Structure 1
Amino acid sequence: MFKPFLEETAKIVEAEIDRLLGDPAQHAAPRLAEAMRYAALGGGKRLRAALVRAVAQTLAADPKALSWETTAASAEVLHAYSLIHDDLPAMDDASLRRGRPTCHLAFDQATAILAGDALQAAAFGWIAGDPYLSAEAKVALVAGLAQAAGLAGMCGGQMLDLEGEQTPPDLAGLERMEQLKTGAMIAFSADAGAVIAGASPELREHVAGWARCLGLAFQITDDLLDVEGDKALTGKDAGLDAARGKTTFVSLTSAEAARERLEALGEAARAHLDSLPGDVTLLHALFHHVVTRDR
């Protein structure tokens, strides 16, 4: 059930990003526009887009009347910006992303940095300019994205991750770091779907609890794939965390303990979904996809 949904969502969002980024030849800095397209198009799990759509469709009174595409595209290009910067020599020093050379190797470091900066700005601009969203929804989405992407979210988590290379965190510190670095944007994407659907504050709280479980489960699965995954399938360098001395759920505990934590998160996620009205099959399927994926 979920695979066709994910594939359809990826196709729709890919087309939306393509449309919004436009033809590089029409921009004042074509090379920068090409780098943005290189990083934002042509691959990726599109999990954040799927989250926006899945939650919106689950909670909306009329799923067919939703306008989720631009917000989903915004979440994906902000994620793309973060990957460009994470891959830089000053950060993770990665050579492969989505099965292709990382942006700074395909272009150069300065262009990659600017491409990331420009994609981040585009994410906010696209939401603000969406003609199908109410002013109230736009304010909520822009504020939520700013918090998830900044000091209190992804950037703060990345800083904790870098500091952890010198002073390894304990398990509680690791979970907090991952909830910021990875989980904050996953939580935003889920909440964005609830905002677009016009959900009540109470329902948004239940979605947030489920999304927190999902974000942590996503990262634990990533840690397992970094140790056990096939580079040909994951499309990125394997063993990079271990090579840089990073603390992960697997290195701090064990692969077996990481899988046990995934099971516990799955149970907690199901409890949150039990509090939502209507058919939540799609959200159950999304969680299952995250913890059983091979890339």
Structure 2
Amino acid sequence: MDYTSPGERVLRGILIALVLIFFLFPIFWIFLMSFQTNAQILRIPPSLFFTPTLDNYVSLITGELKSSAGVLKLNFMNNLWNSFILSVSSVIISLFLGVPAAYAFARYKFRFSEDIAFTLLSFKFAPPLLVLLPLTMYFQAIGLANTYIGLIWIYQLITLPLILWIVRGYFEDISPDIENAYRIAGFSWARMFFKISIPLAMPGIAAAGLLSFIFAWNNFVFALVLASADKQPVTVGALAFVTASGIQYGQIAAAVVLSIAPTLALALFAQRYLVEGLSLGAVKG
């Protein structure tokens, strides 16, 4: 039962509305910018009323940006496809490796287990510039520079530690008695793992996979240095809109809308798993 007074409920509603406006207004403004020309965007004072245009989206889809300097070729749709390949592949591989590892760290205590787990987590904390130079030299030496395989491998530094620690905390919240009862019934460890442990930990696995996908999608530094234009994701491809004739703000806004659409749709679709997984599993790990 809610014992708050009407005035408190009104005040709480106003505060929530202000917070939503504060965080959502930049996204709303970028969405409006994507339907405006540069002249409309740069006018002073700015206005919410304008004649919308789809030229920015047409330029991204067709790959041709018309400016005062001529027609500039864009690879944005290819960059979007690269982001999808790199993010999905890295998350799938990290789930394949990280979920069993998380279960091992949660259920079995062996020598240096915490040290190993913390070392893996430190890959997430380390600044990319710390390892960028040796990685570049190493990848050039073994022929992995400017390849999807090399980039996906590097993206494991982002996705694997996150999956490992979130899923580990969720496995620790599952009672071992449930698994032991299944083993006593005569089933193998593998069957117990896939029939009992994985389904019970699915909200945490889904949350970890979603967050890892978002972090991988938003990566910038590794792809900027280790990949050329044909392998770069949208975070790097957006630099093409900074041209000699000026900054194409409308195309940048349209690119932002298209680039956040997949992660936003995925977050809305899996929000139940995200909230449940983070509230139960991650806080304990």
TM over 0.5: no
Task: Report the TM-score when normalising by structure 2.
Answer: 0.32
Larger Rg: 2
Task: Return the TM-score normalized by structure 1.
Answer: 0.32
Higher relative contact order (CA 8 A, sep 6+): 2
